[in-house]
Amino acid sequence: MEKYGIFGGTFNPIHSGHLMIAEYLREEMNLDKVIFIPTGNPPHKDLKISAIDRYNMVKRAISSNDKFEVTDIETKREKLSYTVDTIKELKLILKDVKLYFLIGLDTLFQLRTWKLFGELSKEIDFVVALRPKYIDISKINAEISYLQENFDTNIKIVHTPQLEISSTDLRQRIGEGKSVKYLLPSEVIEYIEENNLYK
Ligand code: ATP
């Protein structure tokens, strides 16, 4: 049976931290592919950038990796969708593929607040990228136990390197006219410049 990683996020913009953990987890988990799913624009939150631009940036960022794919399943929707609906829809298309939801450590602590998380836990296993020197392992284990006991979640931890890059910092740097070279792929920097984003 083939195994795919699902990597969801706002990707506003996608950066080398995202790409590095997607590739690292793909290798460590023996995944045949990683599918990136940029989220739709939340109606209550002005992201100042279209979902299409975020999707296009992901598309450019992954173009040189034939194990990476991007889907517009969420960005093309008019209304915001729950992750569980997206996963159910994907499973209808990707029959006989085992799916793993890939997340960073900050997302681990948000999972319990996700709408219909219990239902999502029935549909998919989770893989958390953990940096080796993260000190508070007891906090992480406590969170994982909580999710297992309350939602029957299947979670695996994989140790990965960590690039301390955040989209929030990147938007600020670009706004200030500072260089973001090497923090994100050059194809994405070109897209941002061509479309005058984050100014
Ligand atoms: P923002 O700064 O706008 O909140 P973000 O990069 O934290 O952006 P997303 O684009 O939604 O947010 O992140 C998608 C996924 O990538 C999440 O699971 C998040 O935990 C993970 N992630 C984000 N940045 C990193 C990083 N530098 N290293 C590892 N994982 C990351």
Q: Is the pLDDT of residue 38 over 70?
A: yes
**Ligand 1 proximity of 196 Cβ (cutoff 6 Å):** no
Write out pLDDT tens, residues 127-171.
999 976 666 889 999 999 999 999 999 999 999 999 999 999 999
Cα 104 to averaged position of ligand 1 atoms, centre (Å): 6
Q: What is the mean pLDDT of residues 117-126?
A: 97
What pLDDT was estimated at residue 134?
A: 64
Terminal Cα distance for the chain, rounded: 46
What pLDDT was estimated at residue 46?
A: 76
Q: Is the pLDDT of residue 125 over 70?
A: yes
* Model pTM score: 0.95
**Ligand 1 proximity of 168 Cβ (cutoff 6 Å):** yes
Which two structure tokens, joined as six digits, stand for 157? 């931890």
Work out the mean pLDDT of the chain and round it to a whole number.
Answer: 95
What pLDDT was estimated at residue 79?
A: 83
**CA atoms of 165 and 73, how far apart (whole Å):** 26
Which two structure tokens, joined as six digits, stand for 92? 């209808």
Cα 18 to averaged position of ligand 1 atoms, centre (Å): 6
CA-8 nearest atom, ligand 1 = 14
**Ligand 1 proximity of 11 Cβ (cutoff 6 Å):** yes
Categorise residue 66: left if φ over 0, alpha if ψ from -120 to 50, beta otherwise.
Answer: alpha
What pLDDT was estimated at residue 133?
A: 66
**Ligand 1 proximity of 5 Cβ (cutoff 6 Å):** no
Which two structure tokens, joined as six digits, stand for 152? 């029957």
**CA atoms of 84 and 73, how far apart (whole Å):** 13
Q: Is the pLDDT of residue 181 over 70?
A: yes
- Pick from 126, 128, 7, 105: nearest CA to 65: 7
DSSP 166-198: -HHHHHHHHHTT---BTTB-HHHHHHHHHTTTT
CA-165 nearest atom, ligand 1 = 27
